[in-house]
Amino acid sequence: MTARRSGRERSPLKALARWPVFLIGNVALLTVIGASTVRETYRGWTVDREIQALESQAASMEGRRMQLASLTEQFVSSERVEFEARTRLGMKKPDERVVVLQGFSAGSPSGDAAAAGYPDAPADPRSNPEKWRDYFFRGKQ
């Protein structure tokens, strides 16, 4: 009698022929999944880097805004407005006498007599460190 093969039994050659197709399909699927994973990871990394840069920029802008707000408060203060009105516009309070000195500006330091316009003050050619050295180590001259 001839043995009939049932539908479940397959030849070993056909079973072996399916393994390479299955293996190639799995490798292709893993390659696609791996490439997608790498691409999304890189995209996430670049987004995180951009977020850090924007947060840093926002922090520096906030600091600048605080500086400008402080400066604005200084300019709006009544003392500053009064100072600017007196110096730039020449305004004065009612019943106030104003004396204007010729050759003297309000911004020049009063300690330097030659710069203030006093011709009798001797000009000292020494530098400031030399003056201090002489004051401490050579006594008053």
Along the 141 residues of the chain, how does pLDDT read in single tens digits? 455 555 566 676 676 667 888 889 999 999 999 999 999 999 999 999 999 999 999 999 999 999 999 988 888 888 888 888 888 888 888 888 877 777 776 554 544 544 545 556 567 888 888 888 888 888 655
2 within a domain of the structure (yes/no): no
Helices (H) and strands (E) in the chain, counts: 3, 0
> What domain count does the chain have?
2
| 27 plus 77 within the same structural domain | yes
Q: How many CB atoms lie within 10 A of CB 21?
A: 9
| 37 plus 63 within the same structural domain | yes
Q: Among candidates 101, 79, 104, 83, which has minimal Cα distance to 92?
A: 83
Rounded-to-integer distance, Cα 31 and Cα 53, Å:
33
State the DSSP code for 3: P
| 18 plus 55 within the same structural domain | yes
- pTM for this entry: 0.41
Angle between helices 78-87 and 12-76 (to 10 degrees): 60
> H/E/C letters for each residue in 48-84?
HHHHHHHHHHHHHHHHHHHHHHHHHHHHHCHHHHHHH
| 77 plus 106 within the same structural domain | no
Q: Residue 38 has what pLDDT?
A: 96
4 within a domain of the structure (yes/no): no
90 within a domain of the structure (yes/no): no
63 within a domain of the structure (yes/no): yes
| 75 plus 34 within the same structural domain | yes
Positive/negative CA dihedral, 23, 24, 28, 29: negative
87 within a domain of the structure (yes/no): no
| 24 plus 63 within the same structural domain | yes
| 69 plus 108 within the same structural domain | no
| 70 plus 127 within the same structural domain | no
| 122 plus 69 within the same structural domain | no
44: containing domain: 12-82
Q: Residue 40 has what pLDDT?
A: 96
| 116 plus 59 within the same structural domain | no
Angle at 111 between CA 107 and CA 112, to 5 degrees: 85
